[in-house]
Structure 1
């Protein structure tokens, strides 16, 4: 009989393999991101159009993530989806290489969005190598591998963009897909035989109130992140006289904070206080970030402020993910993950477009204040949820204690 410890030891090589693939995948997806807005602005693109191009990345995810989740649950297999995602990520940068304008980046972002839609399979397969009680640890580790790949991409971009431009970054993006695709051939899946559940039964999980709440909180976090740290924060820094190296450094500081906080979220230390503490606290940090960015006097102030955004990517997102997936039956996990990711993809699609439109009409300060207001709404929702839950738990304990033996 195989013990739990032996099973964990057997899974370790696959956990490491998937972690490397995840890092390469997200390097491919993000190496050019810190300079996308700067590049498009430099070739004469209006802020509204930049918002549309940026939002295209979330649009494909919004359309495809739930269907891909249902398909993964019905097939019970994830490696094919992982390979398709890696291939699509590499193909996306070919559009940017051979069509280096708004159209090429728009098409590239659509393909990148499809690639990110397959993130469902990366996560569910990774989670399958952990026990149910270690879901938060698994979430922190895979988000950490995700952010590590982005960190490597941002660092490479900072070193190379000023001297070699966007073209080389897109070449590196396409090239990173090759080793990731090769390594995916060695991914194995847990053996199981089961009858494919009906689609109607799978979709019932989308009415789960806990899943809906944390999907909406992830919508705020991801939408604000892609509208600020991944795009318009660079424009705010540029307005303070920042050059390409300084803009890149802002992105590197942000992603270092994200990587470190992701692994912190996987630790026992973070779990002592739990999601009821960390989710409201980090939402407050993200609100503060949106208020500060348009008011910072010079580029030097941007550097420490980026840490606030990085904490939201590392801690807030990983806790939202584990909270959303808690108590979800294994047979519907891919569908639930597809719903979760589709909801936050709506934020990744809409918020950059809205931010671009507000920036064009009212200026960058008004756009960031609007994002701060939205984040504050999420903060209020999280506080109300955990206060009500605490009251319910207390009532249950009291009821149990008062019940005659």
Structure 2
């Protein structure tokens, strides 16, 4: 960590992150209802909603590789993300044509792709052994604007119409732009530009140990988020007769433990072995809870189960982010983070598509059965990774023993 980093630098950075996600999520809770009111078919709505994930998949890894070559431009791209958010907001506000709204939402995905730079820049504010603290703090700054938008977007629309959440996004992006320009970048001597071709950087990135399993677990975990709370939870709750107003309690039940878990990860400096156990047990609890969800038909039971899921996913995501941030050599950090975020973004658009198919074929409640199966797949990968790690440790120990013996 740079000794020049003071509390004010943390405050400015985290405030910019808060604006970054509020600008991106301000209208998300009512966006599908807005598209329905235009009116668009469910097919077209699905294409527009999915496009947000597609641009992230396409951009995050190439950006990561590029910025390991052009180290000094990270802040420029982060600032650029806010400019794109403003343009995206105005397009969504002023147009009702399918093509323009699709472009506006694709641009929102471009903004979200700039998150790669933010995670690496903020990790530089901390010592190498404090990545858990850094990523837990960032996760909290991500969750809070999502939570606020989930609570307020519906009310804002009821009071003042569909335009207001878009205006909130635009104004927040303007504030975020000013804050981002003030963000301090840590000059990291260890992180000089990578030599070699883009192909060699990609090859080096993909050969980083444990990158693939951690990324796959994150892909499945993000799919769970976008199947449930950012996807079909409101639809399922509505089908059980829960009103729009009462839905706030489900959101509170999910997001309060979700945010609390992020703080917990930030405060506790968890040992790597404990991290693995926490990830496995949290995913196991997530799977069991999703299996129970079709039995929940009252506001209380739906809220209670969502509180458990909010807590368990809230533990898993910052721990995965922390592992990724501390996984790579300094010269490849942005490439590794870019790959990780590109691939998990697949879960953001594949999750809702699969859930929509499951709802049509088997009934709405089986969206959660699908989520439970996905959770078990994530548990399987986490367990296999842990077993392989232990096997490697035993092999290394026996080799060392033999060498010492000779």
**TM over 0.5, shorter chain:** yes
Further displaced range: 170-179 or 86-95: 86-95
- Is 1:203 the equivalent of 2:198? no
Pairing partner for 1:26 from 15, 21, 24: 21
TM-score by length of 2: 0.90
TM-score by length of 1: 0.90
Pairwise CA distance, 1:154: 2.4
Asked if structure 1 preserves the Cα contact closer than 8 Å seen for 2:227 and 2:367, the reply is no
- Is 1:142 the equivalent of 2:143? no
The Cα RMSD (Å) is: 2.5
Per the alignment, residue 291 of structure 1 pairs with 291
1:299-318 equivalent positions in 2, closer than 5 A: 299-318=299-318
Pairwise CA distance, 1:388: 3.0
- Is 1:152 the equivalent of 2:151? no
Per the alignment, residue 404 of structure 1 pairs with 405
Aligned residues: 400
Gaps of 5+ in 1: none
Secondary structure of 1:319's counterpart equals helix
Asked if structure 2 preserves the Cα contact closer than 8 Å seen for 1:259 and 1:314, the reply is yes
Further displaced range: 138-147 or 185-194: 185-194
1:175-324 equivalent positions in 2, closer than 5 A: 175-191=171-187, 194-198=192-196, 199-204=198-203, 205-268=205-268, 270-271=270-271, 274-324=274-324
Q: Aligned partners of 1:387, 1:371: CA distance in 2, in Å?
A: 24
Pairwise CA distance, 1:400: 4.3
The CA deviation string for residues 197-246 of structure 1, in whole angstroms up to 9 with x for no partner, is 23233212123340111111110011221122102111111111222222
- Is 1:172 the equivalent of 2:173? no
Pairwise CA distance, 1:314: 2.2
Asked if structure 2 preserves the Cα contact closer than 8 Å seen for 1:217 and 1:378, the reply is yes
The CA deviation string for residues 140-186 of structure 1, in whole angstroms up to 9 with x for no partner, is 11111111222232232254233334321121111110110011111
Per the alignment, residue 11 of structure 2 pairs with 16
Further displaced range: 358-367 or 234-243: 358-367
Pairing partner for 1:116 from 112, 118, 140: 112
The CA deviation string for residues 299-351 of structure 1, in whole angstroms up to 9 with x for no partner, is 33222222233224421111111223333011111111110011101111222
Further displaced range: 108-117 or 310-319: 310-319
Q: Aligned partners of 2:358, 2:48: CA distance in 1, in Å?
A: 16
Further displaced range: 53-62 or 148-157: 148-157
Q: Aligned partners of 1:248, 1:33: CA distance in 2, in Å?
A: 15
Pairwise CA distance, 1:107: 3.1
Per the alignment, residue 36 of structure 1 pairs with 31
Gaps of 5+ in 2: none
Pairing partner for 2:95 from 91, 96, 99: 99
Q: Aligned partners of 2:315, 2:41: CA distance in 1, in Å?
A: 34
Distance change >3 Å, CA 295–CA 164, structure 1 → 2: farther
- Is 1:343 the equivalent of 2:337? no
Further displaced range: 82-91 or 174-183: 82-91
